[in-house]
Amino acid sequence: MTSARFATSPRGPRAEFLISAAGPTTSLGTGLLLLTVAGAGAGSGLEPIVTAALAWLALMHGLVVVENLLPGASTDGGQMIYAALRRRRDAERPATIVVRMRCLLGGVVVGAGVVVMFTVEVVGGVVVAAVGALLISETDRARLVDDSIVRTSP
């Protein structure tokens, strides 16, 4: 999970929000374009392997959009929430909210992993729970990132 870093801060929360939204919007547009081409190709007799590859790429772009919109300090979704909240509050409180949202998300994912572990498949549940634990463990690192953002914000 990455986000862009700039030499200078964007001019205000609105610009920060729009810059953060550009990545997921681009991935969504690319995924929709790939899906459209796959559908048109299937209807016009394009090789099934090509249409399957295009549809798979469209799905991957969709997953990237979902991942980017997760509320974490290092994701575009977290930066968008931070910018939206910063319009109404000082810089410190929105950073705390984003970090707490990521921790809550991690807890939900761990819980889902435990449910999967006991109801569907042990290995799959362990993997899902591990992803949730990773989200929670990165919360401390995200908090440090947020603190540096708060200190350097205009």
- Provide mean pLDDT across the span 8-19: 77
More confident residue, 61 or 71: 61
pLDDT score for 100 = 80
Tokens representing 63 are 């997953």
Residues 101 and 71 sit within 8 Å (Cβ to Cβ): yes
48 CB contacts (<8 Å, ≥6 apart)?
42
Which is nearest to 108 in space by CA: 130, 124, 132?
Answer: 132
Out of 105-114, 117-126, 136-145, pick the least confident: 136-145
* pLDDT(10) > 80: no
User: Model confidence over 76-112: pLDDT tens digits?
Assistant: 888 888 888 877 666 667 777 777 888 888 888 899 8
Residues 96 and 78 sit within 8 Å (Cβ to Cβ): no
Residues in the chain: 154
Q: Quick one: DSSP state of residue 46?
A: -
In whole angstroms, give the CA distance from residue 18 to residue 14.
6
Which is nearest to 136 in space by CA: 69, 63, 73?
Answer: 73
